[in-house]
């Protein structure tokens, strides 16, 4: 086993061009390069669109309004300026991930 030392920024924001990646299906806050610094909620998916690592931008997610699969936009990791894990409470995170999985199942039908 090799040992390495890395430095993680204190603010926990990672640059899209860095080789660090979220876990598969992890919810994150992302700041795309194309939208003037507007943070968005996204789910990271490995090798999902044309074999490219990408974020599925979920828009402004709230408990009141649900987004449909057609509202999900895909952004390759190379188009993301910064990202960081969203860090929701565990029960809320599980509920949101389950809802997102339903959207993808409906989208495949």
Q: pLDDT per residue over 6-65, tens digit each?
A: 777 777 899 888 888 899 989 999 988 876 677 888 889 887 667 778 888 875 544 334
Whichever domain contains 91, its CATH number is: 2.30.30
- Say if 41 falls within a structural domain: yes
- Say if 7 falls within a structural domain: no
- Say if 30 falls within a structural domain: yes
Yes or no: say if 58 and 41 are a contact pair by the CB < 8 Å rule.
yes
Domain boundaries, position 67: 14-108
- Say if 36 falls within a structural domain: yes
Yes or no: say if 85 and 27 are a contact pair by the CB < 8 Å rule.
yes
Yes or no: say if 34 and 83 are a contact pair by the CB < 8 Å rule.
no
5, pLDDT greater than 80: no
- Say if 8 falls within a structural domain: no
Yes or no: say if 27 and 86 are a contact pair by the CB < 8 Å rule.
yes
pTM listed for this prediction: 0.72
Cβ neighbours of 107 (radius 10 Å): 11
CA–CA separation, 40 and 45 (whole Å): 16
Q: How many CA atoms are closer than 13 Å to the CA of 49, on its beta-carbon side?
A: 13
């Amino acid at each position: 086993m090799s040992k390495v030392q890395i430095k993680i920024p204190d603010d926990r924001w990672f640059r899209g061009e860095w080789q660090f990646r979220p876990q598969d299906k992890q919810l994150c806050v992302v700041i795309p390069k194309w939208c003037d610094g507007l943070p968005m909620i996204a789910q990271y998916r490995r090798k999902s669109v044309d074999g490219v690592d990408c974020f599925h931008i979920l828009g402004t997610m709230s408990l009141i309004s649900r987004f449909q699969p057609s509202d999900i936009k895909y952004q390759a990791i190379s188009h993301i300026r910064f990202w960081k894990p969203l860090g929701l409470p565990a029960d809320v995170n599980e509920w949101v991930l389950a809802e997102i999985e339903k959207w993808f199942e409906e989208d495949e039908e």
